[in-house]
Structures are given as C-alpha cells and as structure tokens.
C-alpha cells in the first residue's frame, strides 16, 4: 500500500513534470505494490482469498430478471403503504392532540 501511495504522491508532488512521467509514477507504484504483494506471505494470502471469493460468487444462484423485478416492486409497494400508514397516523395524532385535547385551531 505504501508503494501505491508513494506513486500517487509522486503524481501530485512532481506536478511540473510532463504528464507521461507523472502517470509512470503511478503505474510504477502500482506495479511495485503488486510485486511486493505477490512475493510476501500476506500478499499471497490476499490473492488466495480473492481467488476463493471469486469461486464462491460463481456458486451463487443469482435471481432472474423477473424475480428481481418482482422483488423490487414488492419493496416499493411496501414503502408506499408504510408511508401512507405513517402519514395517516401522524395526521390522526395531530388532530387528536391539537384539536381535541388542547383545543388549538390552526390558522
């Protein structure tokens, strides 16, 4: 991570250099970070974890377009119903408290 950050710092610190050189600083930082990660134990563990994670995503049964659309419609419908319920509850409590109990009339 430090090499990647060093590449980014070099990009901004050497702002007066040509853009090609500044981009090479960033690419060098990325490549240096990748090489260090490739040859260290934590980096190899990270790559193994990434490979296993990618394999797990291939095992997931993703919903079809129809299922995703139906689920989204159900969520939106529930949100609209809850919004109406909360609005009616709020207005009812407002009417009971302000008009009936306290006797305050809105002007």
Give residue limits of the domains in the chain.
Answer: 2-59, 63-107
pLDDT at position 106, please?
62
When pLDDT is averaged across residues 19-27 and rounded to a whole number, the result is 92
Structure tokens at 12: 């901004």
Give the global pTM: 0.47
Rounded Cα distance between 74 and 100, Å, is: 37
Rounded Cα distance between 97 and 107, Å, is: 16
Rounded Cα distance between 100 and 30, Å, is: 69
Say what percent of the chain tops pLDDT 90. Answer: 60
At residue 4 the predicted structure's pLDDT band, cuts being 50, 70 and 90, is: confident
Structure tokens at 54: 């990618």
């Amino acid at each position: 991570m430090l090499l990647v950050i060093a590449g980014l710092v070099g990009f901004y610190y050497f702002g007066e250099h040509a853009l090609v050189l500044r981009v090479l600083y960033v690419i060098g930082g990325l490549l240096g970070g990748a090489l260090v990660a490739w040859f260290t134990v934590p980096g190899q563990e990270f790559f193994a974890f990434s490979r296993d994670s990618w394999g797990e995503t291939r095992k997931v049964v993703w919903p079809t377009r129809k299922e995703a659309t139906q689920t989204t419609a159900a969520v939106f419908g529930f949100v609209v119903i809850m919004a109406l319920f909360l609005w009616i509850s709020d207005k009812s409590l407002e009417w009971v408290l302000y008009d009936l109990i306290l006797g305050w009339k809105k002007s």
